[in-house]
Structure 1
Amino acid sequence: MTPHQQAEAELTAYGLTLPGAEASRGWDPTRALDVNKKTFVIFGARAEPLDELTITVKLPISAEMVGDLYYVRESRGWYKQHDWVIAHFGPDDDVLAEFDTLKAWLLQSYVAIAPKRLSRQIGAE
């Protein structure tokens, strides 16, 4: 298992602990996590090798602040308009070094997408 696959597996496992979260198929060939049938994170990209990882999340609080990070790709169109951020890690990037940041982004995206009754449960736990 590559570090990129490990990061995706651990982020997926974390995401599935959130109230109402479910694994789903994104657009072929991506993988996604949904809450209430709405996607809050997408893993993968077309023709992406195993030693790369693309993660797309909604960051309404920090989308404008993360644009200068080396692994953030410029979002365009609908994605940019709605505060979705695309992070891409290539074969030489240390995705595991950014794991805590990616986990926080996944949580921020979940809270942005989840119904309030579910996102409030996170603070109560």
Structure 2
Amino acid sequence: MRAFALGLPEAGEEFPWEESVIKVNKKVFVFLGVEEPTERWRPGFTVKLPESAGHALAVPGAERAGYNLGRAGWVWLPFTGDLPDPEVLFDWVEESYRAVAPKRLVKELDARVGGPAAD
């Protein structure tokens, strides 16, 4: 998932709060957590899903993100348990990217994957 997210246009990894996050244009689109889970950090990832939050919340153990991020469509999903196929997870990472990336980068992504901007 990390490699997929970093492959999106102008995505980069940073480590605020001792947590791995993937950003585009200084905005986080994936929280990947910490390497060693602690009492405070559980293994999982958080993405912004304006369209797919309901679907993601149906995953066992998934929940709206804390710190009031859940109100804006952010969902935390556990790395353990019964996760959807990797392609669904990649779709969610891409949806989160599209939700925060500038329009020019979304157009660049569309051109890469043969989306609407490629027409």
Q: What TM-score bracket applies, with the shorter chain setting the length?
A: 0.7 to 0.9
Structure ranking higher on relative contact order (CA contacts 8 Å, 6+ apart):
1
For 2:13 and 2:88, the matched residues in 1 are separated by: 21
How far residue 98 of structure 1 moved from its aligned partner, in angstroms, is 3.1
Percent sequence identity over matched residues? 32
Aligned counterparts, 1:23-62, within 5 A: 23-28=13-18, 30-44=19-33, 48=37, 53-62=43-52
Aligned to 1:112: 99
Aligned to 2:54: 64
Q: Which runs of at least 4 in structure 1 moved beyond 4 Å after TM superposition? A: none
- Size of the alignment, in residue pairs? 109
Aligned to 2:87: 100
Q: Is the 8 A contact 2:6 2:13 kept in 1?
A: yes
Q: Is the 8 A contact 1:73 1:86 kept in 2?
A: yes
Q: Is the 8 A contact 1:53 1:88 kept in 2?
A: yes
Unpaired segments ≥5 residues, structure 1: 1-10
How far residue 75 of structure 1 moved from its aligned partner, in angstroms, is 3.3
CA RMSD of aligned residues (A): 2.2
TM-score, structure 1 length as denominator?
0.75
Instruction: Indicate the SS of the match to 2:51.
Output: coil
How far residue 71 of structure 1 moved from its aligned partner, in angstroms, is 3.5
Deviations 1:46-85 (A, max 9, x none): 9616xx7310000001112332221412435521211000
Q: Is the 8 A contact 2:20 2:32 kept in 1?
A: yes
TM-score, structure 2 length as denominator?
0.79
For 1:115 and 1:57, the matched residues in 2 are separated by: 17
Instruction: Indicate the SS of the match to 1:66.
Output: helix
